[in-house]
Amino acid sequence: MAKMDIGQIGKEVELRLADQLKASDRLAKEEARKQALQATQKLLRSLQSPEETILQYALEAGSQRMAIRCAVDLGIFGILSRLGGGSVTSKELAEECRAEQLLVTRIMRALVAIDFAAQVDIEAYAATRISLAMATPAMEGGVIMSNDFAGRIFINIHEYFREKGYKSPTNGKDCAMQWAFNGPDDFFTHLHKNPKKTTAFNNYMTRIRSTRRHWTEWFPVETEVLEGSKGEEGCLLIDMGGGKGHDIETFAARFPNAKGQLILQDIPGVINNIAELKSGIEPMTHDFFTPQPVHGARVYFTHFIFHDWSDEVCRDILRNLMPAMTPGYSKILLNEVVLPDMNCGPFFAALDLNMLANLAAMERTKSHWIELVESVGLKVTSVRVSPFPGDAEGIIEAMLPLESSTAQENPVGVGLESHT
């Protein structure tokens, strides 16, 4: 059994905090902050008794999620955020929320215990920085999505596994989602039938993407994409299933002098509702479950597409793409989570189980990605993971294998460049 030296961990916390104070730029400060946070969390776990840790997750976490979700529904965080440093009583909250005062007091008690609100007097409350963040559409959306979908499934998923067998589901149309909601709709069908939840989902996803490092900040685009491209004569990059164009617009802004066509692809319901797209990007309707119509592009790019699907469905997407690729030239770049084989952080471990619950899908490790992509006849040429602390987003790069002996010399997974 691994033991933790509290004194040693305490010294690590002091060191990381000192690093943050000494950091000279925003990036360095953020890296030092995350390292200090990890060390502090380790110290907290070492100070807690096993029983305290167990009850924290078994008893407290569920009750706290309930209080947060009810507070979102009642608009409590919006009220707190409008106080401008002032306070509000439970009676005033109850009147504005049209709720029973006793219930509001009980909800606020749970929120105060986790700093989602501050208590300034008996049944009187003020905002904290967490309250202010919770008042934003993005964070409200995150709570709604986590609670109303995966949270609803998680609460009884052990019964689903008892009935169906303890194995990872692979059919998004017949999985824990349908079992928990007692209906035939898959995740996205259910989502699109509920406009408020669709808005919550979009607000949350937009915020999550804006806070993460874009792949062009750490992937060697110049050497792996721009060098050797056909320039103005060819298509440089196609963003498949790219939504409203966030990724491809970021690419275009970062490399304004890049030569070649830029294409944004998605289904008609998405493409036809794009209000504005950066000049030089061509919108195109395309379903990636059908053959790719644009042949010979330098890069076929996807972002968080494959983690929505089982391995077999991912193979179908790749098989529809491969005939359009030019051997030795075209590349597939999959911008996906690459889970570590050891000591995965809580966010990405939780994300994987959310994909299981909502979509019968998954996040994948490096070896899983290689096995999946190469199972259809592609060759994985590199797996790179973001170098930023706490991030597990990566780029899986694949090409059609050359019909030469040298293309067969490198067995699966050997010699692959990996930045972890």
Band (418; pLDDT cuts 50, 70, 90): very low
pLDDT band at residue 414 under the 50/70/90 scheme: very low
| Structure confidence by residue, pLDDT tens digits, 352-411 | 999 999 999 999 999 999 999 999 999 999 999 998 878 899 999 999 998 733 333 333
Amino acid residing at 410: N
3-state class of 338 per DSSP?
strand
Does residue 239 carry a pLDDT above 70?
yes
Mean pLDDT of the chain, nearest integer: 90
Which pLDDT band holds residue 36 (cuts at 50, 70, 90)?
confident
Cβ contact 104:137 at 8 Å: no
Asked if 336 contacts 136 with a C-beta cutoff of 8 angstroms, the reply is no
CA dihedral (150, 156, 158, 159) positive or negative = negative
CA distances in angstroms from 409 to 4, 158, 197, 406, 415, listed in the order given? 45, 46, 50, 5, 11
Cα 104 to Cα 94: distance, rounded to the nearest angstrom: 6
Among candidate residues 4, 16, 99, the one with its CA nearest the CA of residue 46: 4
DSSP 69: H
DSSP count for the chain of H helices, then E strands? 20, 12
Q: What percent of the chain has pLDDT over 70?
A: 92
Check residue 3 and give its pLDDT.
55
The answer, yes or no, to whether residue 115 has pLDDT greater than 80, is: yes
Each residue's pLDDT tens digit, 308-326: 999 999 999 999 999 999 9
Quick one: average pLDDT of 335-355?
95
Say what the pLDDT of residue 408 is: 37
Phi, psi of 300 (to 5 degrees): -110, 110
- In this model, does residue 181 exceed pLDDT 60? yes
How many angstroms separate the Cα of 294 from the Cα of each of 219, 265, 325, 327, 379?
24, 10, 9, 15, 21
pLDDT at 266: 96
- Residues of the chain with pLDDT > 90, as a percent, come to 75
CA separation, residue 237 to residues 117, 279, 296, 332 (Å): 47, 15, 10, 10
Closest CA relative to residue 340, chosen from 382, 390, 374: 390
pLDDT reported for residue 9: 67
Kindly name the residue from 246, 307, 368, 419 that is annotated as catalytic: 307
pLDDT greater than 60 at residue 52: yes
Judge whether 419 counts as a catalytic residue.
no
C-alpha span between 66 and 72 (Å, rounded): 10
Mean pLDDT of 33-55: 87
Partners of 36 in the β-ladder: none
pLDDT of residue 417: 43
Among residues 204, 120, 151, which one has the least CA distance to residue 357?
A: 151
pLDDT at 20 over 70: no
Cα–Cα distance measured from residue 317 to residue 314, given in angstroms and rounded to the nearest whole number:
5
**Greater model confidence, 275 or 337:** 337
Given a cut of 90, whether residue 4 has pLDDT beyond it is no
